[in-house]
Chain A
Amino acid sequence: DGGITQSPKYLFRKEGQNVTLSCEQNLNHDAMYWYRQDPGQGLRLIYYSQIVNDFQKGDIAEGYSVSREKKESFPLTVTSAQKNPTAFYLCASSDQGGAETQYFGPGTRLLVL
């Protein structure tokens, strides 16, 4: 069964804590993306990676960090520097970057305690 998985579905963060959201794909895609979705805001790009061991900042990278050590995995860490982390986080992948079709995971909802 090919696709993109995200875990956990819900995540709770205490103030001052770093948390990591998982994203895995078995589509053999080169490019992976992280988006943040707030109500009425659409999707905002946090980070993207077009190839292993390389990634670029998106529009709202402050307070987030990523790594791309393996082709199939692109974890996102929400650091304590992100003051308003409550949102729905979506991971996507595409065969290549640029205009290619992106396929999305089911999302992780992050809530602050």
Chain B
Amino acid sequence: GEDVEQSLFLSVREGDSSVINCTYTDSSSTYLYWYKQEPGAGLQLLTYIFSNMDMKQDQRLTVLLNKKDKHLSLRIADTQTGDSAIYFCAEGSRSQGNLIFGKGTKLSVKP
């Protein structure tokens, strides 16, 4: 079946940039998503990118998509302690009934 892979942990210092990576297998993916989950809460949509785009920027967030390598990344500029959370990558295609989620990357931001 289709799969989405992410590294489980990332630790950065406050003020540095964070880069969270994701790989997926479904070549028919049309949308790719990044969600953020704070402790004890639901998932919050951060941003998404269409599969015909290479890059999307939204304030401190930059999403890069390499469709050839099926690689997606989320860059957070000037990372703050409030960015500490679990970040989920997800992909969806029109042929699927739902999104496929990665296991999540836990971002820890040290002051």
Q: How large is the interface on A (under 10, 10 to 19, 20 to 34, 35 or more residues)?
A: 20 to 34
Give B70-96 as 1s and 0s: 1 = Cβ < 8 Å from A's Cβ atoms.
000000000000000000101011111
Give the tally of cross-chain contacts (CB within 8 A): 62
- Closest approach, in angstroms, between the C-beta of A48 and any C-beta of chain B? 5
Contact partners of B111 in chain A: CB under 8 A:
none
B98 touches A105 (CB 8 A): no
Contact partners of A98 in chain B: CB under 8 A:
92-98
B42 touches A105 (CB 8 A): yes
Contact partners of A33 in chain B: CB under 8 A:
98
A8 within 8 A of B: no
Known: A42-B104, A99-B92. A90 touches B42 (CB 8 A): yes
Add 7 more A-B contacts to A33-B98, A43-B88, A102-B45 (CB < 8 A): A40-B103, A90-B42, A97-B97, A98-B97, A104-B35, A104-B43, A105-B42
Q: 9 A-B contacts, Cβ less than 8 Å apart?
A: A4-B42, A42-B103, A48-B97, A92-B43, A100-B31, A101-B31, A101-B33, A102-B90, A103-B45
